Amino acid sequence: MPRPWTGTLVTALGGVLVIVGLMQTSVAAQGASERKMEEDFKNIKSLRGQPAEHLLPTMVYFEAALGVGCPYCHDNDAAKRELDSKPQKDVARRMIDMVNAVNKNTFGGAPRVTCFTCHMGRPAPIGMPNVVGQALPPALGEDYYANLPPAPPVPSMDAGQVLDKYIAAVGGAGAVQKTPSLVANGTMTQRRIGRPFPAQQVEISSKAPGMQLIATRAGQADNLVAYGPSGRWAKAGNGAARDLRKAEGDATVLEDVFNLSAQIKQILIEPRMDRPEVVMGRELNVVRGRTQNLPLVKLYFEKESGMLRRLVYNIESSFGPYPTQVDYSDFRDVGGRKVPFIWVISQVRNREFTWAMQNVRAAAVEDSKFAKPPAATAQR
Ligand code: HEC
Ligand code: HEC
């Protein structure tokens, strides 16, 4: 717990604000004999006016907040801390100025924001929320990261080859032609830590190359999410059908795992290989790209079988992207097509949805099933 240092910074920043911001006399009350940093040290710019006594605790606080050592910001010659030989030192000065300004302008001078607020023991703050169950990168300091084995290199193969292997692994175009439409029945169970939800019955109707309707039983009327040639839409219970937002629509198409192999090459823009990643103990091939409305999509394929095991996509917000992750398992053969019977959608906000199919079968489905219901009837 960095409590004692927080206390130190509170005092330190309070001092800055008093001097720079409020011009009150409380500094004088601390005693004229107190030495200032700029009096005892050679190259003080951002910490001017702070008690010289605070210099070393402040430096230790920086180390703690960023998970680094003195030479991260300072010259490797420990006798020359006054030198500005590393860019990090100037970045740190800008950060000090920023923290002082934020506390002054936004928090009325109260020292609410500290280096640790953003950095939390890491040189690069984590700006993106994590999906439920996914640990944040550990904050174990420079030495830990310096001694990690090197990350595996990006494989030299073409992303298109990996996508082709996946398309073949799930049966290829031939299987889709033979079994173009599927109907699946099962349950969707939401899990939110600390709050139980009952399993809901779901029915998924799917038709190649890109039509899907998901009906979730909810009381009298089903909740529907669908897309097809005539649009992408959703309808909650007896409410009016609405068009999906653009990003939501792309996400719906990506999450349609029954039709993904038939569409992936059209919807994934600029696919390329990324570093392999270990998922549940297995190293998987990773293809990354984007869609028209999603800034990042990552697909994780088994090296040997070519099967898709994980999908991650980011949705953009006004303050940065957030991820959704889908993990697929229990692959079975349905009319020559290999489809997952279980998938788990892990979202941010501690939400997790397990989709478990009891039954997936080949069945004829009319195109009209995927069409958005007319507004007039829905609104009455
Ligand atoms: C995150 C970056 C950072 C880290 C880590 C850091 N410092 Fe500093 N240090 C600074 C900055 C920035 C200044 C100058 C502050 C200013 O301009 O007001 C400074 C100034 C100093 C000074 C005053 C030098 C002078 O004479 O002007 C000393 C001494 C010092 N640091 C020692 C250390 C020691 C010892 C450590 C490790 C325990 C350390 N620092 C870790 C950023 C850092
Ligand atoms: C409001 C959030 C926030 C606060 C508070 C904050 N930082 Fe940062 N800091 C950042 C971000 C974001 C970056 C990365 C910038 C980038 O990637 O270009 C960063 C980068 C840095 C870096 C450069 C790291 C590198 O190697 O690239 C240093 C050094 C640093 N901060 C020091 C500090 C110190 C010291 C404080 C407290 C006085 C502090 N920061 C407070 C957000 C913050």
Q: Specify the residue with its C-alpha closest to ligand 1, atom 10.
A: 89
Residues 99 and 195 grouped into a single domain: no
In CATH, what number is assigned to the domain containing residue 354?
Answer: 2.50.20.10
Q: What is the pLDDT of residue 376?
A: 62
- If asked whether residues 343 and 272 sit together in one domain, one would say yes
Asked if residues 271 and 161 have their Cβ atoms less than 8 Å apart, the reply is no
Best residue among 35, 41, 59 to mutate for probing ligand 1's pocket (most ligand atoms within 8 Å of CB) is 59
* Domain contains 378: no
Do 193 and 132 contact (CB within 8 A), yes or no?
Answer: yes
Nearest CA to ligand 1 atom 7: 59
Tell me, yes or no, whether 140 lies in a domain. Answer: no
Q: How far is the CA of 186 from the centre of ligand 1 (A)?
A: 60
Domain check: are 186 and 299 in the same one? Answer: yes
Same domain, 175 and 252: yes
pLDDT tens digits, one per residue of 146-187:
999 999 999 999 999 999 999 999 999 999 999 999 999 999
Residue of 50, 73, 95 to test ligand 2 pocket, by largest number of atoms within 8 Å of CB: 95
| DSSP symbols for 7-19 | HHHHHHHHHHIII
Does residue 30 belong to any structural domain of this protein?
yes
22 within some domain: yes
What is the reported pLDDT for 377?
52
DSSP 378: H
Residue with more model confidence, 196 or 26 = 196
Shared domain for 201 and 306, answered yes or no, is yes
User: What range defines the domain where residue 11 resides?
Assistant: 3-125
Predicted confidence (pLDDT) at residue 23 exceeds the cutoff of 60: no
Question: Of residues 149 and 33, which shows the higher confidence score?
Answer: 149
- Tell the residue nearest (CA) to atom 36 of ligand 1: 70
Residue given tokens 């990773």 in the structure block: 286
Tell me the per-residue pLDDT of 295-308, one tens digit each, with 9 for 90 and over: 999 999 999 999 99
For 362, the token pair is: 């080949």
In this structure, the answer to whether residues 10 and 68 fall within a common structural domain is yes
In a domain, 306, yes or no: yes
* pTM recorded for the entire structure: 0.88
Do 115 and 212 sit in the same domain of this protein?
no
Within 13 A of 87's CA, how many CA atoms are on the CB side?
0
CATH number for position 40: 1.10.468.10
366 CB-contact burial (10 Å; exposed 0-12 / middle 13-18 / buried 19+): exposed
Question: Is 123's C-beta closer than 6 angstroms to any atom of ligand 2?
Answer: yes
Give the whole-angstrom CA distance, residue 63 versus residue 54. Answer: 14
CA of 95 to the centre of ligand 2 (A): 6
Could you tell me if 120 and 109 are in contact, meaning their C-beta atoms sit under 8 angstroms apart?
Answer: no
> What residue's CA is closest to ligand 2, atom 6?
115
Last residue of a domain, which of 100, 125, 150? 125
Q: Please state, in angstroms and rounded to a whole number, the distance separating the CA atoms of residues 266 and 276.
A: 23
Nearest CA to ligand 1 atom 30: 81
